Amino acid sequence: MLEHFFNPHSVAVIGASTKPKNLGNVLLKNMIDGGFLGDIFPINPRAESILGLKAYPSILEVKADVDLAIILVPAPIVIDIIRQCGEKGVKAIVIISAGFSEIGKIELEKKLVEEADRWGIRIIGPNCAGTINTYNKLFATIESRIERGNIAFVTQSGALGGAVLAWAANERIGFSKFISYGNACDVDESDLLLYLSTDNETMVITLYLEGVKDGRKFFRIAKGVSQKKPIIAIKGGLSKAGAGAVRSHTGAIAGNSQIYISVFKQAKIIRASGIEDMFDMAKALIYQRQTSGHNVVVLTNSGGPAVMVVDELEALGLSVPGPSSEIRERLSFLPPFYSVNNPIDLTAQGGPEMYEKVFRSLFSEEYYDAGIVICVPPISLDAAEVAKAVVDVLKDVDKPIVACWMAGHLVERAVQILEKNKIPNYPTPKRAAKALSVLMKKQNINR
């Protein structure tokens, strides 16, 4: 039933506008500029054409079938628009319009659901920012367009969703689907999780959640979905003040924070502390495989960041043991001033060849289950060459590895090389350690 939301052959934009800053114009332009391959029908009774497309006074005037309708008209007339969509045979509607339960107009929202039910229509929204399917070039949203990837992002907050999309573009993070579901008068987070569990383009599901109307349904579905694909979630409104903000934002009830924390644990939902944390972990899961082990080795050319990584790894419950006797023997070529404990510190003199040779030695046997490689390049070191050396080694080492190339613009080319080759890079030791921990299957990231 949700397929029309993400793979429609035709879309009607009801409330399309000729005014450039109007949301009805922004969404229509997104659809056109995004390259949607299906038919787009702007609906506006006071325009003959909008952005080069023929406009229609009503959806009932469109001769072709319409799979999906996007509504951007004032709240008081939305119910009448739903009736017209029902007469037209539309089965999926996204309501961008606000002015419903989030401002106390609960009865008005109930009536629009009743009208939709009468016609067998499913609704996402109201009070949302729209949907995106990058694999269908569908950008039915008032927010930024995004690059294609394998992460789905489901958010109760449209504005937060828009901010995340803009941030993700700078971080070179791609998405399969983006869904802002707002007040969730019909389609809710549970329905969307279930849909994404069978979506071939989605490898990891990320979720920003404020409140759940049907807790049993959410727990049952999330528990099943997490066995197929990782779910990483942020729960907004865990504090007393935050819970009050949730109610005024989407009309949702935030609920007891301890109950949500318990449900997340039992359903094996990975709880993120913030946006960066969520997508750091998602990127690791997209790029690297998981392991059932817990021994981590840290290879570095700088002591300070390595100490910070080790502290964070141990705080997360992971082991950072010294090398085995066999690995120590293989590392006997190192000069005496190099540290051969764990972390393995190559000092500022460690170049690409040394990184490669040591890295191969560390994974010459089944002792370490995963690794973090740190590079803080001195002026004399080409960080990109070290990145290439690490990439070459990983072709022969089947272990989850994350990188921490630090120094801002000085390592930009190196980071591009790493991530092009599916090695996620993180700009701080703490973020690298937290991202790696999600790759350790036995690790309880929710405690």
SS (H, E, C) the chain: CCHHHHCCCEEEEECCCCCCCCHHHHHHHHHHHCCCCCEEEEECCCCCEECCEECECCHHHCCCCCCEEEECCCHHHHHHHHHHHHHHCCCEEEECCCCCHHHCCHHHHHHHHHHHHHHCCEEECCCCCEEEEHHHCEEEECCCCCCEEEEEEEECCHHHHHHHHHHHHHCCCCEEEEEECCCCCCCCHHHHHHHHCCCCCCCEEEEEECCCCCHHHHHHHHHHHCCCCCEEEEECCCCHHHHHHHHHHHCCCCCCHHHHHHHHHHCCCEECCCHHHHHHHHHHHHHCCCECCCEEEEEECCHHHHHHHHHHHHHCCCECCCCCHHHHHHCCCCCCCCEECCCEECCCCCCHHHHHHHHHHHCCCCCCCEEEEEECCCCCCCHHHHHHHHHHHHCCCCCCEEEEECCHHHHHHHHHHHHHCCCCECCCHHHHHHHHHCCECCCCCCC
Quote the pLDDT of residue 316: 93
Q: What is the pLDDT of residues 373-409, one digit of tens each?
A: 999 999 889 999 999 999 999 888 889 999 999 978 8
Whose structure tokens read 């080409």? 382
φ and ψ at 115, to 5 degrees?
-65, -40
Amino acid at 88: K
| Six token digits for residue 321 | 């043991």
Query: What is the spatial distance between Cα 3 and Cα 70, in angstroms, rounded to a whole number?
Result: 15
Q: What is the mean pLDDT of residues 117-146?
A: 97
Domains of the chain: 1-126 (3.40.50.720), 143-287 (3.40.50.261), 289-437 (3.40.50.261)
Q: What is the pLDDT of residues 142-196, one digit of tens each?
A: 999 999 999 999 999 988 999 999 999 888 899 999 999 999 999 999 999 999 9
Predicted TM-score (pTM) of this structure = 0.91
Q: What is the pLDDT of residues 86-124, one digit of tens each?
A: 999 999 999 999 999 999 999 999 999 999 999 999 999
Q: What is the mean pLDDT of residues 200-223?
A: 94
Query: What is the spatial distance between Cα 247 and Cα 243, in angstroms, rounded to a whole number?
Result: 7
User: Which carries the bigger pLDDT value, residue 317 or residue 252?
Assistant: 317
Query: What is the spatial distance between Cα 25 and Cα 23, in angstroms, rounded to a whole number?
Result: 5
Q: For residue 18, is pLDDT > 70?
A: yes
Quote the pLDDT of residue 253: 46
